[in-house]
């Protein structure tokens, strides 16, 4: 999951034209963030050549030469070239001048451009702490996820968030407040918090021009947030108009906290700190922010995730009964998408997977493979001892229910019945066949079905011919 998150962010950066990338590398905080997104070999390579002012030979790099290492090095070099961090010509390479200068500044602490944020020095009459910020992040972020799974909410995300979900293809529907989750949306719910955050932020970037916002300013601000200190208030001083406008949207996502629209101070939440921090595998958004409630320092808040919300909590029996050892409303809501829940206790819910519950999930765009993947990813340790993890009969049956749905098609139309005799039935059915509107018939019962377009023609024919 973590690797998928990194690739998507880097792939976006690789798609940017050279002038845009050069603008990005004018800011030390952005250079540091891009460095963090590189694989370990890429980071090693950059640090090895960072303080070289002259072009260097790639063959002189202190890397053990084996077939495997050469392949890995080639992949890293292609990535660094795509990101415009290094430029190669005639066997020599040179690091991007702006990147080299500003990354050095980021490492040595000589930043005078305030790219890491401007701490607010004025006294906050109502100061906030890490627990408050974690609660703010959890409330806003999980309200988005709860809306996606159809939970009844008193605090529904605002229209800007809902429009972004629809633009991203995670939800569908003409009415923003009655949309349904899509196949991509359910896949989104299976991701870790890093992937989910960046998935929405990359979609935000994709519509930035429509919002008349500078994408470079947006990226600078995102990377700035990732380098800020949790619990520290920051001033809006030096923020561009794009970044100031973006701040309101990030409040809706739970990434930052701002007391009011007129306030000149904002606070990054645990979600903001995680944007450029490799916090390991984050099993759920709620787990990521829950860590801030129990950890004494920022590092612990970002790393002690597995203790906050176990990833493996689902037991599935061969009789299709499901036992989920969780009290998370979000996980229960996700299970409710494809499990018929029957009982709920303080730390346990139970239910059964039925044909109807699976067909309901399929109707919302969730696939059989996604259901099986969710049950496998969250399988209880007792189930992980099995090979395969899920009972084969259940996995096969879920797939069969999907095939059953795919074999069936629905057609809007009208049923004709109650003919006085076989002769009348045969004439009417033959006419419907000749004009190509007959979709189904049963001669024994003297009934047939025509599509909507052909209904009026068949009715007129019956009135003209048969009633004579």
188 with 220, same domain?
Answer: yes
Q: Which two tokens stand for residue 193?
A: 């918090």
From CA 367, how far away is CA 406, in angstroms rounded? 11
In a domain, 223, yes or no: yes
Alpha-carbon distance of 318 to 323, in angstroms, equals: 12
Burial 246-278 (b: 16+ CB within 10 A, else e): bbebbbbbbbbbbbeeeeebbbbbbbbbbbbbe
- Among the three residues 373, 392, 407, which one is the final residue of a domain in this structure? 407
pLDDT at 286: 44
One domain for residues 239 and 140: yes
pLDDT at res. 195: 82
Examine residue 124 and state whether it is found in any structural domain, yes or no.
no
Domain final residue, candidates 389, 407, 425: 407
d(CA 262, CA 146): 29
Whether residue 292 lies inside any domain: the answer is no
Residues 73 and 193 in one domain: no
DSSP-based three-state secondary structure for 350: strand
The verdict on 243 and 324 lying in the same domain is no
> Do 163 and 246 share a structural domain?
yes
Residues 234 and 330 in one domain: no
**Are 269 and 375 in the same domain?**
no
- Walk across the sheet containing 265-268 and list its strands: 234-235, 265-268, 256-257
Q: Which two tokens stand for residue 265?
A: 């101070």
Bridge partners (DSSP) listed for residue 436:
none
Rounded (5°) CA angle 222-225-230: 155
- What is the tally of structural domains in the chain? 4
* 399 part of a folded domain: yes
Is pTM beyond 0.75 here?
A: no
Task: Give per-10-residue mean pLDDT for the chain (468 aa).
Answer: 54 89 92 90 88 79 67 86 88 88 90 82 83 91 89 83 92 87 85 85 87 88 90 89 90 92 90 72 42 41 39 92 92 92 94 94 86 92 91 93 80 89 91 91 93 90 76
Q: Is residue 298 assigned to a domain?
A: no
CA separation, residue 381 to residues 216, 311, 312, 392, 415 (Å): 45, 10, 6, 18, 54
Q: In Å, what is the CA distance from 99 to each residue of 46, 61, 102, 221?
A: 10, 20, 5, 17
C-alpha–C-alpha distance, residues 202 and 215, integer Å: 10
- Read off the CATH number of the domain in which 457 is found: 3.30.70.2610
Do residue 65 and residue 182 come from a single domain? Answer: no
Backbone dihedral region of 107: left (phi > 0), alpha (psi from -120 to 50 degrees) or beta? alpha
Q: Residue 296: what pLDDT?
A: 40
Long-range Cβ contacts of 403-410 (<8 Å, 24+ apart): 405/359, 405/362, 405/363
List the strands of the sheet with 447-451, edge to edge.
413-416, 447-451, 438-442
Residues 36 and 63 in one domain: yes
**Confidence (pLDDT) at 44:** 87
202 and 157 together in one domain: yes
Residue 120 has what pLDDT? 87
Phi-psi domain of 204 (left: phi exceeds 0; alpha: psi -120 through 50; beta: other): alpha
Identify the residue whose tokens are 């190669």.
Answer: 88
Q: What kind and span of H or E run contains 92?
A: strand 92-95
- The Cα angle at residue 287 between residues 136 and 218, in degrees rounded to 5: 55
Asked if 303 and 279 touch (Cβ cutoff 8 Å), the reply is: yes
For residue 253, being part of any structural domain is answered with yes
Task: Say yes or no: 28 and 148 in one domain.
Answer: no
DSSP 363: H
The answer to whether residues 341 and 246 belong to one domain is no
Q: Establish if 452 belongs to a structural domain.
A: yes
The span from the CA of 279 to the CA of 295, in Å, is 14
E strand map for 238-347:
256-257, 265-268, 314-316, 321-324, 340-345
The Cα–Cα gap between 406 and 192 comes to 30
How far, in Å, CA of 118 to CA of 240, rounded?
13
Boundaries of domain holding 220: 130-276
Residue at token pair 């918090």: 193
Task: Show which of 407, 440, 458 is a domain's final residue.
Answer: 407
**Assigned domain for 71 exists:** yes
**52-73: buried (b, 16+ CB within 10 Å) or exposed (e) per residue?**
eeeebeeeeeebeeeeeeeebb
Element (H, E) at 449: strand 447-451
């Amino acid at each position: 999951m973590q690797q998928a998150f990194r690739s998507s962010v880097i792939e976006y950066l690789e798609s940017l034209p050279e002038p845009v990338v050069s603008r990005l590398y004018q800011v030390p905080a952005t250079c540091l963030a891009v460095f963090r997104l590189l694989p370990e070999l890429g980071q090693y390579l950059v640090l090895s050549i960072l303080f070289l002012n002259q072009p260097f030979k790639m063959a002189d790099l202190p890397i053990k030469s084996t077939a495997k290492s050469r392949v890995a090095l080639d992949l890293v070099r292609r990535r660094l070239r795509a990101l415009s961090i290094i430029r190669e010509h005639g066997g020599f390479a040179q690091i991007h001048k702006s990147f080299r200068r500003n990354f050095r500044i980021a490492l040595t602490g000589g930043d005078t451009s305030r790219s890491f944020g401007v701490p607010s020095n004025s006294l906050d009459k109502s100061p906030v702490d890490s627990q408050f910020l974690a609660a703010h992040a959890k409330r806003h972020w999980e309200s988005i996820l709860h809306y996606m799974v159809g939970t009844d909410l008193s605090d529904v995300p605002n229209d800007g968030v809902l429009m972004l979900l629809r633009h991203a293809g995670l939800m569908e529907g003409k009415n923003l407040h009655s949309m349904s989750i899509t196949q991509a949306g359910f896949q989104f719910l299976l991701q870790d918090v890093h992937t989910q955050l960046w998935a929405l932020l990359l979609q935000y970037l994709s519509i930035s021009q429509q919002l008349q916002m500078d994408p470079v300013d947006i990226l600078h601000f995102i990377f700035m947030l990732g380098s800020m200190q949790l619990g520290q208030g920051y001033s809006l001083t030096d923020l561009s108009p794009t970044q100031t406008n973006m701040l309101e949207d990030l409040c809706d996502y739970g990434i930052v906290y701002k007391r009011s629209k007129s306030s000149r101070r904002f606070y990054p939440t645990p979600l903001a700190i995680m944007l450029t921090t490799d916090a390991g595998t984050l099993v759920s958004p709620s787990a990521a922010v829950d860590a801030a409630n129990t950890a004494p320092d920022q590092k612990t808040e970002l790393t002690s995730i597995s203790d906050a919300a176990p990833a493996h909590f689902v037991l599935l029996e061969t009789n299709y009964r499901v036992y989920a050892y969780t009290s998370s409303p979000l996980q229960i809501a996700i299970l409710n998408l494809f499990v018929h829940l029957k009982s709920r206790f303080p730390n346990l819910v139970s239910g059964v997977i039925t044909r109807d519950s699976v067909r309901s999930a399929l109707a919302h765009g969730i696939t059989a493979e996604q259901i099986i993947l969710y049950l496998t990813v969250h399988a209880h340790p007792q189930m992980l001892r099995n090979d395969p993890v899920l009972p084969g009969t259940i996995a096969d049956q879920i797939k069969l229910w999907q095939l059953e749905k795919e074999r069936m098609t629905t057609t809007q139309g009208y049923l004709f019945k109650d003919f006085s005799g076989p002769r009348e039935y045969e004439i009417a059915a033959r006419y419907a066949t000749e004009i190509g509107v007959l979709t189904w018939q049963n001669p024994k019962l003297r009934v047939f079905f025509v599509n909507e377009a052909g209904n009026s023609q068949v009715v007129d024919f019956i009135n003209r011919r048969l009633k004579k």
